[in-house]
Chain A
Amino acid sequence: MASADITERPIDDHLARVPEIGCAPPGSDIEVQLARTWESEPGWRGWLSTVDHKAIGLRYIVTAFIFLIIGGLEALLIRIQLARPDQTLLTPEQYNQLFTMHGVTMIFLYALPILSGFSNYLWPLLLGSRDMAFPRLNAFSYWIFLFAGIFMYVSFPLGQAPNGGWFNYVPFSGPTFNTGPNIDVFALGMVLLGISTSVGSANFVVTLFRMRAPGMTINRVPILVWGTLTASVANLLVIPSVSLAFFLLWLDRQMGTHFFDVANGGKPLLWQHLFWIFGHPWVYAIVLPAMGIVSDALPTFCRRPLVGYTAMALATMAVMLIGFEVWIHHMFATGLPTVALSIFGAASMVISVPSSIAVFAWIATIWLGRPVFKTPFLFFAGFVMLFVIGGLSGVMTAAVPLDWQLNETYFIVAHLHYVLLGINVFPVVGGIYYWFPKFTGRMMDETLGKLSFWVMFIGFNVGFFPMHWAGLLGMPRRVYTYSSRMGWDGVNMITSIGSFVFAIGVLIFLVNVVVSLKRGALAGPNPWDAATLEWATSSPPPAYNFAVIPTVASRHPLWEDRLDEGRGRSNFKEGLLLAEGREAISTSPIDAKPLAILKMPDDTSTPFFLGLFISLLFVGLLLHWWLFTAATAIAGSLALIVWLWPRKALAQRAMPQGDNNG
């Protein structure tokens, strides 16, 4: 493929420089200089201004996990309320707010951000780079995510949290039926969160096509990268749809427009289309990177490469592409014409083909390998089973007549929990067990790890499998209580018990994290004897990731000797030396041929302040403080000007003759 040449342009001799090739062993002058250049300033200033992808990735993971715990506590309250019939622990309004915040938290504030955390931390290490393509944008993405999460929770203690469910259908969420600030908080919070997701996604796309190590051709990219890339492209296309939907709803509620107001010619179905055009691809965005975690980590414990790499890469991309054209299966009960529904039913069933390819690839990898039953393996194997159950119930609901029977029942709740917990939480927890040594330099405890898996796995299935039965018995979702004469008592009690068992499993995992942080066995660079590039550097990695830019010669750089892949060997000891300030190498999109030295920005607190001012602007909009809104807009613009001001150190301004070292 000759696409590398597309980017070739005449060289500006003024900027030309030949990078040295050499070694930089630990303790050498160059290595010390690299450490000094890339490490963040200690103390709160450094904490606030760091643009290190590893720090940002860990912040994403920790913040998202805190949201997972909050959402989990909300779920436990819901399950106490539903454990027995005619309970009065919660009022209907409290219940509405709880299940809405549970959904919003899990789907928007946990599921994608935690995967962004993994990808932010791992991508440059997996790709052999020094950082993401846009480090400041990366920090900005995190701060906006954090502020959006706080924004959406700020009305919760006041009893004014969003209360229309996570998909927030109109007309219930319109100004006529929902007069409080609840929905406005949700609407503006989602627009704010959309900024974070969009800039983060753009960063991932550019990073993949620009920041790979020389030799990491497009056929050597880890599956996690394919998963996150696919999710990121999808986010760039669909976030505008949901941001527009929520903005129009806010205009309806606060500015007197009538986009969704039936009485004045508005269309409630417009909301459903705009929301689900976003919503269904989002569902895949929050599982595909998690599937990538399994595809990359499972082979380590099977002691062999993933079966069907190309098919898995295709399955990842195909699932997302098909996912763009299935949104109407969320609208089967809206009265759309039959052939229109059938077309989308057929498309929804097609997704089972690439999904099955992925499942068979994982099973074949286990089958043909020599499984090592460590904790991460248990989580990944458990994930495969839950994926199959969640996938099967998904194919069932792709059939229009059956969907009509199951729509708005607990069967759907069971399906989405198998999909979201099974395909997101299990790989994520398995991934934390797997990469914890890389994150912290310490191993997690195996005994506690296996215990946490079995408690979580049993609790999950005891809790969520009976929900299928509750749905088949006709129990509708989102009811705050039910009569004992409905025959749902037993199944709800079992579900509640299972939920608490699952929560105990999560608690054991958290205990393990805390204990292992203090007392875990020290991990070397590659404690699992894994194949991918992140294990070629120390645990935890130094601030600069790789002292010399690695040269990659195969898909499994650390297993080359035993697999005898290709003719060449990857090289981590000798390579491009880039140490004149913060520098990284840019490579061509397909062939990964070196193209340019990138001058990377230093730490700066501008992303924090820009994120803060934008978030305060949304506070102003929420409270109708127009002068405050204008002031924050001006402050945000100034922060942006500071951010974008051309700098000589970044080669954004012409350098005087003779000073061409950048």
Chain B
Amino acid sequence: MSPSVKQNVSAKHRSPHRYPMGRTLVSLFGAPVAWVMQMSLSEPIAAYACYPRQVPLSAPLWVELPLILAVISLVCLAAGLLSGYVAWTSWRQIRNGSVVITKAANGHPDAGVDEGQTRFLTMLGMMSSSLFIVAIVFTCCAIFLVPPCSAWI
């Protein structure tokens, strides 16, 4: 594919509707990122604390390990809930019509302004936040219920 030959039909059009991109990104990716952070921090810290060199330990390297894991989980849960709140308020704004969405003119290739994509992305954000808040809670259960360096007995 080559660099494009610009056509001048579309570039002059500016969408009258502007929904904040930042809010959409937070509601779509906030909770997933919080969950990924929870996983990516908790697993290596827990693994290293219980198995730092060649021999596994019966107690963690640091006594504060449960506290560290708990703090990570709670911070990530808070971030997930915040993302969920942003998603929920965005969805309510769209649903209540606080944000104006203009319908496209019939059939014209260049007329599309918002054909439901904002509503779709907001709904997607709300579902994404809900699912990954559940994922964070699941991971919290593992952290709070399983002793860090125990054997499976």
On A, residues with C-beta under 8 Å from B are 1-5, 8-9, 11-12, 15-19, 21, 133-135, 214-215, 217-220, 310-311, 313-314, 317-318, 321-322, 324-325, 328, 335-340, 342-347, 349-350, 353-354, 400-401, 404, 549, 551, 553, 566-569, 571, 575-576, 586, 590-601, 647, 650-652, 662
Closest 7 CB pairs of A and B: A650-B2, A219-B120, A596-B4, A337-B50, A342-B142, A214-B109, A346-B142
Chain B, residue nearest A11 (CB): B6
| With A310-B123, A595-B4 as contacts: A567 and B42 at CB distance below 8 Å | no
Q: Are the CB atoms of B104 and A215 closer together than 8 Å?
A: yes
Q: B8: which A residues are within 8 A, CB to CB?
A: 11, 16-18
Q: Mark B137-152, 1 if CB is under 8 A from A, else 0.
A: 0110111011111111
B141 and chain A: residue at smallest CB distance = A346
Distance of A519 Cα from B56 Cα, bound (Å): 68
Tell me the smallest distance from the CB of A561 to a CB of chain B, in Å: 14
Tell me the complex Cα distance, A74–B99, Å: 60
Q: Tell me whether B92 is interfacial, beta carbon within 8 Å.
A: no
- The reply to whether B7 and A343 contact each other, CB–CB distance below 8 Å, is no
Asked if B63 CB lies within 8 Å of chain A CBs, one says no
Q: A338-B148, A567-B106 are in contact. Are A314 and B127 (CB under 8 A)?
A: yes
Least CB separation from A324: chain B residue: B36
Residues of A contacting B: mostly? mixed
Which A residues lie within 8 Å of B135 (CB)?
Answer: 322, 347, 350
Contact of A8 among B4, B11, B146, B148 (CB under 8 A): B11
CA of A600 to CA of B11 in the docked complex: distance in angstroms? 21
Known: A217-B112, A343-B46. A337 touches B51 (CB 8 A): yes
User: Are B11 and A18 touching (Cβ within 8 A)?
Assistant: no
Option from A3, A219, A571 in Cβ contact (under 8 Å) with B119? A219
Q: Does B97 contact A (CB under 8 A)?
A: no
- Cβ-defined contact, B120 with A321, below 8 A: no
Q: Which listed residue, B11, B110, B131, B151, touches A338 by the CB 8 Å rule?
A: B151
Interface size on B, residues (CB 8 A): 72
Indicate if B18 sits at the interface (CB-CB under 8 A).
yes
Which of B1-42 touch A at CB < 8 Å? 1-11, 13-15, 17-19, 21, 24, 32, 35-36, 39-40, 42
Question: Per a CB cutoff under 8 Å, which of B15, B17, B50, B128 touches A340?
Answer: B50
Quick check: B124 and A310 within 8 Å, CB to CB? yes
Q: Which residue of B9, B13, B18, B40 contacts A19 across the interface (Cβ within 8 Å)?
A: B9
Q: Is the CB of B112 within 8 A of A592?
A: yes
Is B53 an interface residue when CB atoms closer than 8 A count as contact?
no
Q: A215-B109, A310-B120, A340-B47 are in contact. Are A594 and B7 (CB under 8 A)?
A: yes
Q: Do A314 and B131 touch (CB < 8 A)? A: yes
A601 to B118, Cβ gap below 8 A? Answer: no
Residues of A within 8 A of B50 (CB): 337-340
CA distance A220 to B147 in the complex (A): 47
| Nearest A residue (CB) for B35 | A325
**B residues near A575, Cβ cutoff 8 Å:** 109
In the complex, the chain B residue whose C-beta lies closest to that of A553 is B107
CA distance A206 to B93 in the complex (A): 32
**Cα distance A50–B40 when bound, in Å?**
45
Q: Which chain B positions have C-beta within 8 A of A343?
A: 39, 42-43, 46, 139, 142-143
The smallest C-beta distance from B51 to any residue of chain A, in angstroms, reads: 5
Does A344 contact B43, Cβ atoms closer than 8 Å?
A: yes
B4: chain A residues within 8 A (beta carbon): 586, 595-599, 651
Residues of B within 8 A of A220 (CB): 115
Max chain B C-beta neighbours (<10 A), residue from A11, A317, A340: A340
B24 touches A551 (CB 8 A): no
A-B contact pairs, 9 of them (CB 8 A): A11-B11, A21-B109, A214-B109, A337-B148, A339-B69, A347-B139, A551-B108, A594-B7, A597-B4
Interface residue? B95 (CB, 8 A) = no
Which A residues touch B21, using CB under 8 A?
A: 1-3
Contact A338 B117 (CB under 8 A): no
Inter-subunit contact A2/B17 (CB<8 Å): yes
Is A651's CB under 8 angstroms from B47's CB? no
Which residue from chain A places its CB closest to the CB of B140 in the assembled complex? A346
Contact yes or no, A567 B131, CB < 8 A: no
